[in-house]
Amino acid sequence: MKPSLCPALFLTAPSSGQGKTTVTAILARWFSRQGKTVRIFKTGPDYLDPQILEQACGHPVEQLDLWMCGEAYCRQRLYLASQQSDLILIEGAMGMYDGNPSSADLAATFGIPLALLMDVSGMAQTAAALAYGLASYRDDIQVAGLIANRCGSDYHRNLIDAALPDTLPLLFALQRDEDISLPERHLGLVQASEITQQLEQKLNHGADKLAALNPDDFLQQCGVVEFQPQTQQQPPALLRNQRIAIARDAAFSFIYRANLELLQQMGAELLFFSPLHDQQLPDADALWLPGGYPELHLEQLSQNQPMLDAIRDFFNANKPILAECGGFLYCLEQLQPLHGDGVRLLGLLTGEGIMRDRGGCQGMQAAPLPEGDIRGHSHHRSATRSSEQPLIFAKRARHPAPGEAIYRRKQLTAGYLHLFFPSNPQAVAQIFSNTHDLV
């Protein structure tokens, strides 16, 4: 296979909260409206930003992470996208150099130029100094220029532009506009499915604003990147004829597209259902309860008695169940919201979940299951009290302290960890098909 050429740009920032998702989304919407095929990738483990970005560009948005996904996987996904796209945009995570590996590491590995996005509220020439420092910190990256977000005026923009060195141009400046800002809640942005019409208005309004900023000139700053081919073996059909029921609705929506694709590549038939609205499970051999926001739908979940009974029957029939984060909370005896009384849920595991208004846990971890290590991440704003004995504790990527507890009871594997299935397809196949030792 030959290398593939495609314009690409990596949007990064000094920190979280600078507007990376908003600007990436409106850029994608503007170029999509010009008839260009735009593919977007999101750095790191994120379920919410990709929903916004997918609506913006009209194409699937995938995760890239050198630790969780692996370099070979990232190289293959970028190569495939480059063959089908007029432009590739990558949204970074946190700050430019935060994490190990960082956004800068990812950009350097694949030779993708960076656009430094900065909220310039409350500063002018200092923004230029900060941008220059970030761009000069490493010599193995290429910074195409600065995007000044939330500018106060044209004069504000001109002050920043004049202070930048010739080697670091101002790509464009967006003035403050609440009609573009995206709504947030405790784990990040509000899900795209909850604000579809409002989101469309914001995306189109932002694209209209961009139209006055010569975004065609901006495209010239996107380097034409040579993406190298990466062959990966087709996973074995270890789940042939296996039917997997997957919870998917407003309460359970944290699902990597890559996980679904892998299950299908291994031969599984995927059957989606709603714990909120359906009263019975699909006729399935295994069950996946992914993460999401069960805490926002407690009353409806607890009052859907037919569904609770159906999942309990599935559990008691010793069929495989994987429950991640929100799905794990759903499996406990009750969940305590921030305000009000605790609500009874499935009771497949003893104990309760307790929502918190701050704190929580996040970070890259691997689950050292008997079937093999599976990489993933943790991100939650709740705690649990349980008398259950964990099967194992996850291993943190960069710290020796024990990670999340992972439980196994009958054929249920449950814990806070969100697993990235392509990191170990064989182990995932065993979770959904093998008989575990009963405890």
Lowest-confidence segment of 17-26, 139-148, 189-198, 368-377 by average pLDDT: 189-198
pLDDT of amino acid 329: 96
Q: Tell me the C-alpha distance between 359 and 379, whole Å.
A: 10
pLDDT of amino acid 233: 83
Q: What values do phi and psi take at 408, rounded to 5?
A: -140, 120
Torsion sign over Cα 320, 326, 329, 331: negative
More reliable by pLDDT, 204 or 43: 43
Q: Tell me the C-alpha distance between 154 and 173, whole Å.
A: 9
Cα–chain center distance at 70: 16
pLDDT band at 361 (very low <50, low <70, confident <90, very high): low
Q: What is the mean pLDDT of residues 249-265?
A: 96
pLDDT of amino acid 125: 97
- Is pLDDT above 60 for 187? no
pLDDT of amino acid 438: 39
Coil, strand, or helix at residue 177?
A: coil
In the residue annotation, 74 being an active-site residue is answered as no
Lowest-confidence segment of 31-35, 103-107, 337-341 by average pLDDT: 337-341
pLDDT band at 316 (very low <50, low <70, confident <90, very high): very high
CATH annotation of 243-433: 3.40.50.880
pLDDT band at 215 (very low <50, low <70, confident <90, very high): low
CA distances from 174 to 117, 125, 157, 181, 260 (A): 10, 16, 9, 12, 37
pLDDT band at 435 (very low <50, low <70, confident <90, very high): low
Q: What is the mean pLDDT of residues 224-228?
A: 96
Fold match, 4-227 / 243-433: yes
More reliable by pLDDT, 398 or 316: 316
Q: DSSP letter at 137?
A: S
pLDDT band at 338 (very low <50, low <70, confident <90, very high): confident
- Is pLDDT above 60 for 5? yes
pLDDT digits (tens, 9 = 90+) for 82-94: 999 999 999 999 9
Nearest to 93 by CA among 124, 57, 73, 67: 67
Helices in 144-268 by DSSP H: which ranges?
154-163, 196-211, 215-221, 257-265
The third-level CATH classification (topology) of the domain covering 4-227 is Rossmann fold (3.40.50)
What percentage of residues in the chain have a pLDDT greater than 90?
Answer: 77
pLDDT band at 439 (very low <50, low <70, confident <90, very high): very low
More reliable by pLDDT, 429 or 210: 429
- Is pLDDT above 90 for 115? yes
Average pLDDT of the chain? 91
Q: Tell me the C-alpha distance between 421 and 85, whole Å.
A: 26
- Is pLDDT above 50 for 270? yes
pLDDT of amino acid 197: 75
pLDDT of amino acid 194: 67
Rounded to two decimals, the pTM is 0.92
pLDDT band at 188 (very low <50, low <70, confident <90, very high): low
- Is pLDDT above 50 for 318? yes
Q: What values do phi and psi take at 378, rounded to 5?
A: -125, 140
The helix (run of H) or strand (run of E) holding residue 29 is helix 20-33
Tokens of 334: 């009750």
Q: Tell me the C-alpha distance between 235 and 264, whole Å.
A: 10
Q: What is the mean pLDDT of residues 261-290?
A: 98
Q: What is the mean pLDDT of residues 412-426?
A: 97
pLDDT of amino acid 143: 96
Q: What values do phi and psi take at 130, rounded to 5?
A: -65, -45
Q: What ranges do the domains of the chain cover?
A: 4-227, 243-433
pLDDT of amino acid 214: 67
Torsion sign over Cα 261, 50, 103, 419: negative
Nearest to 189 by CA among 336, 55, 11: 55
Q: What is the mean pLDDT of residues 388-415?
A: 93
- Active site residue: 6, 74, 325, 331, which one? 325
pLDDT of amino acid 204: 86
Nearest to 350 by CA among 322, 388, 301: 388
pLDDT band at 191 (very low <50, low <70, confident <90, very high): low
